[in-house]
């Protein structure tokens, strides 16, 4: 079946502009996550959505970052007034939510370059 999809695959923007990144999770997955990977680094958690619960925003690096998930499916990560340090690959993942544990599946990512 279809995996996690993200768009755009690449985004170049000027410093100070706003950007929106989109994630379509695997159908039926109730949990959705955003991560960020800077060049040559591991993945850094940003935000987590589970069903209708309030999202866990503990990983968002500043108030310029926000995310929403509409209808329990598609999610949009918005970065306002982009800075050069925001340049990274932004990865989305989804999973089922099971009491005994859950495997996350990742999309191909959006490579963001802030000039």
Partner 1 sequence: GIQVEQSPPDLILQEGANSTLRCNFSDSVNNLQWFHQNPWGQLINLFYIPSGTKQNGRLSATTVATERYSLLYISSSQTTDSGVYFCAGYMNTGFQKLVFGTGTRLLVSP
CB of 79 to partner 1, least distance (A): 19
Q: DSSP alpha helices (H): ranges in 1-115?
A: none
Kindly give, in sequence order, each residue whose CB lies less than 8 Å from that of residue 57, ignoring residues fewer than 6 positions away: 47, 67
CB of 37 to partner 1, least distance (A): 8
Q: How far apart are CA 72 and CA 78, in angstroms?
A: 17
Decide: is 59 part of the binding site for partner 1 (CB under 8 A). Answer: yes
Interface pick for partner 1 out of 13, 26, 45, 73 (rule CB under 8 A): 45
Q: In the chain, what's the furthest Cα-to-Cα distance?
A: 44
- What are the residues binding partner 1 (CB under 8 A)? 31, 33, 35, 41-45, 48, 50, 56, 58-59, 89, 91, 93, 97, 101-106, 108-109, 111
């Amino acid at each position: 079946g279809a995996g996690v999809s993200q768009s755009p695959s690449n985004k170049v923007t000027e410093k100070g502009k706003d950007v929106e990144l989109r994630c379509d999770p695997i159908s039926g997955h109730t949990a959705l996550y955003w991560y960020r990977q800077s060049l040559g680094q591991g993945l850094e958690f940003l935000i987590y959505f589970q069903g209708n619960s309030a999202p866990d925003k503990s990983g968002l690096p500043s108030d310029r970052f926000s995310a929403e998930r509409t209808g329990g499916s598609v999610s949009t990560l918005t970065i306002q007034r982009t800075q050069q340090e925001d340049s990274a690959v932004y990865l989305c993942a989804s999973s089922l939510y099971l009491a005994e544990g859950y495997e996350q599946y990742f999309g191909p990512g959006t490579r963001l370059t802030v000039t």
